[in-house]
């Protein structure tokens, strides 16, 4: 699998019994930065095109959080810099593509939610074919008013 040979900055991958496990690893809360979103998009595209991959498992390497949604510091920093077109690109292209990457994967995608799942993190989970919810306490799932939808 080509994706295993790549050095991902926000993901760690493993491949066992034809299942690609994608573990998000962006402390503190797996907030979706452009880098994380682009890496998710790339690895799901590679999984779709890999004949040895029969399925994908998406999970978090963090103890208490699956994903906290969009990295709002990215939007804030672009806003302070007056870069409205970059904000639009982040929200309507990078964020939308990354959150829905599992939806477009040609392989079945399961998601393991064993921690807080907020806003865009829930949209990411809903883009998967299967969701397994853990028993960790406290454990919250929540969504805010989305600006981008799941097709």
Does residue 15 have a pLDDT over 90? yes
The CATH topology of domain 2-142 is 2-enoyl-CoA Hydratase; Chain A, domain 1 (3.90.226)
pTM: 0.85
- Phi, psi at residue 65, to the nearest 5°? -135, 135
CB 22 within 8 Å of CB 45: no
Query: Per residue in 91-144, pLDDT tens?
Result: 777 878 888 999 999 999 999 998 888 888 999 999 999 999 887 777 778 777
CB 11 within 8 Å of CB 58: no
How does the average pLDDT of the chain come out, rounded? 85
- Residue bearing the bigger pLDDT, 6 or 111: 111
- Name the residue ranges covered by the structural domains of the chain: 2-142
């Amino acid at each position: 699998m080509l994706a295993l040979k790549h050095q991902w900055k926000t993901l760690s991958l493993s491949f066992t019994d034809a299942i690609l496990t994608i573990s998000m690893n962006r402390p503190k809360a797996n907030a979706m930065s452009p880098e994380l979103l682009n890496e998710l998009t790339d690895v799901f595209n590679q999984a779709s095109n890999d004949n040895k991959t029969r399925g994908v498992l998406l999970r978090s390497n963090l103890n208490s959080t699956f994903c906290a949604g969009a990295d709002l510091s990215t939007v804030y920093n672009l806003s302070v810099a007056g870069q409205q077109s970059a904000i639009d690109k982040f929200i309507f292209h990078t964020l939308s593509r990354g959150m829905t990457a599992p939806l477009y994967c040609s392989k079945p995608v399961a998601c393991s939610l064993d921690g807080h799942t907020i806003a865009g993190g829930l949209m990411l989970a809903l883009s998967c074919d299967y969701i397994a919810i853990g028993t960790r306490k406290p454990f919250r799932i929540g969504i805010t008013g989305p600006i981008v939808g799941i097709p």
